[in-house]
């Protein structure tokens, strides 16, 4: 783990930890079959930079090597040439990179483990705005304009269906999709467009591993999910925490954690932001590991773990269910 004097602590606290770095690298360091649940929300395509530097000339570099625009480079080539996950010039590259990154977590996930991935969609615009943080198209926060290559399904005003493309690419990569849970967001703010409905839902995909033989078997407690056990859940979007605008709502993730990870099991969020999934995991008697690239979020997540560990100790760890 990175020893960084800027951060409050860089060791484990009661077996829980937040590591600073790229999920692509850190996923590959985990011991085989050591994680019960991977639950995460990666950056969405084409929305935010999360304060990191992205080099827009990465597409030109790729084309100058004689490649076709629609052939995605590996994630490693892309980042070494200045690219940032989520800011790929094409949604196809983004989908390929996500699949490649999650593949690196496959061995760490126990055979009976689960992976829950939250992803939202985006509309195509030839000129799109990228915000450092905050919500797309709204608020006064800084944004940059960038030109996105058009072609094929990438046309003005097109809803890109990025979550669906991702889920299908994961299925093609041997994951079994168990649910496409719809997170319905009743409180999304109004939009200026007058020719379409407001986008007010996101997807939460539940994947499990294929077994060597037979049907997939995995830990799942249906009595721990929302009343009605339906695959649509209505949860307000929160205002964010720790300077992060995309914090997981508790009501959305707690049922996933307690139904898909056994008590004392290990929960991993490889894009943990300020660490909401980690604190919920600990509060419900699980162990938590987080990865995060952006230093201020690492710091916030580590402080969160420290706070929740102290609270747990004071309560004598009685929260287990
Ligand atoms: C959608 S946010 C997750 C928010 C989180 N669910 C929470 O509740 O705070 C995605 C996070 O991934 C981080 N990130 C982006 N690229 C990354 C990478 N390659 N490796 C690790 N973290 C990354 C961003 O800094 C951001 O905090």
Instruction: Please name each of the domains of the chain with its CATH number.
Output: 17-46+100-125+159-314 (3.40.50.150)
The per-residue pLDDT for 287 is: 97
pLDDT tens figures, 238-250: 876 666 667 999 9
Strands 201-209 and 109-119: antiparallel
Residue 166 Cβ contacting ligand 1 at under 6 Å: no
The answer on pLDDT for 18 being more than 50 is yes
Q: Are 120 and 44 in contact (CB under 8 A)?
A: yes
The widest CA-to-CA distance across the chain, in whole angstroms, is 61
Q: Cα(43) to centroid of ligand 1, in Å? A: 6
The per-residue pLDDT for 86 is: 95
Residue 280 Cβ contacting ligand 1 at under 6 Å: no
Ligand 1: which atom is nearest the Cα of residue 242?
A: 9
Q: Which residue has the higher pLDDT, 135 or 108?
A: 108
pLDDT tens figures, 258-276: 999 999 999 999 999 999 9
Q: Are 180 and 231 in contact (CB under 8 A)?
A: yes
Q: Cα(292) to centroid of ligand 1, in Å? A: 6
pLDDT tens figures, 209-226: 999 899 999 999 999 999
DSSP characters over 81-98? TT--TT--SSHHHHHHHH
User: Distance of CA 303 to CAs 41, 50, 244, 291, 318, Å?
Assistant: 20, 19, 14, 14, 22
Nearest protein CA to atom 27 of ligand 1, as residue? 273
On the 0-12 / 13-18 / 19+ scale of CB atoms within 10 A, 181 is buried
Give the Cα-Cα-Cα angle 174, 175, 178 (nearest 5 degrees): 140
Around 265, how many Cα atoms within 13 Å sit in the side-chain half-sphere?
A: 22
Three-state DSSP state, 115? strand
The per-residue pLDDT for 8 is: 58
pLDDT band at residue 132 using 50, 70 and 90 as cut-offs: low
Residue 271 Cβ contacting ligand 1 at under 6 Å: yes
Ligand 1: which atom is nearest the Cα of residue 297?
A: 27
Task: Report which of 107, 89, 190, 97 is spatially closest to residue 147, judged by C-alpha positions.
Answer: 89
Residue 302 Cβ contacting ligand 1 at under 6 Å: no
Q: Which residue has the higher pLDDT, 127 or 58?
A: 58
* Mean pLDDT value of segment 13-29: 94
Nearest protein CA to atom 4 of ligand 1, as residue? 273
Residue 45 Cβ contacting ligand 1 at under 6 Å: no
* Eight-state DSSP code of residue 268: E
The per-residue pLDDT for 137 is: 42
Q: Are 27 and 105 in contact (CB under 8 A)?
A: yes
């Amino acid at each position: 783990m990175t020893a960084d004097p800027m951060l409050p602590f860089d060791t484990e606290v009661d077996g829980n930890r937040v590591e600073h770095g790229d999920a692509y690298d850190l996923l590959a360091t985990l011991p085989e079959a050591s994680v019960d649940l991977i639950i995460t929300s990666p950056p969405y395509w084409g929305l935010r930079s999360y304060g990191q530097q992205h080099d827009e000339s990465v597409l030109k570099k790729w084309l100058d090597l004689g490649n076709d625009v629609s052939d995605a480079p590996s994630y490693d080539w892309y980042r070494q040439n200045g690219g940032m996950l989520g800011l790929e010039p094409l949604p196809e590259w983004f989908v390929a990179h996500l699949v490649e990154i999650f593949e690196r977590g496959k061995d760490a996930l126990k055979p009976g483990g689960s992976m829950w991935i939250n992803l939202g969609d985006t509309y195509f615009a030839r000129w799109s705005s990228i915000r450092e943080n905050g919500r797309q198209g709204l608020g006064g926060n800084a944004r940059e304009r960038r030109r996105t290559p058009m072609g094929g399904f990438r046309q003005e005003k097109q809803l890109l269906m990025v979550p669906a493309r991702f889920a299908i690419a994961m299925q093609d990569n041997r994951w079994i999709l168990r649910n496409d849970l719809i997170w319905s967001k009743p409180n999304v703010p109004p939009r200026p467009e007058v020719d379409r409905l407001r986008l007010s839902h996101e997807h939460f995909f539940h994947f499990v591993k294929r077994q060597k033989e037979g049907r997939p078997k995995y830990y799942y407690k249906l009595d721990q999910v929302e009343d009605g056990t339906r695959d649509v859940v209505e949860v307000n979007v929160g205002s964010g925490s720790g300077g992060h605008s995309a914090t997981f709502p508790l009501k959305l993730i707690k049922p996933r954690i307690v139904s898909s990870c056994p008590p004392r099991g290990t929960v991993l969020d490889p894009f943990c932001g300020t660490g909401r999934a980690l604190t919920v995991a600990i509060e419900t008697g699980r162990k938590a590991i987080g990865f995060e690239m952006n230093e201020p979020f690492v710091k916030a997540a580590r402080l969160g773990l420290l706070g929740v560990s102290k609270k747990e100790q004071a309560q004598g760890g009685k929260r287990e269910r």
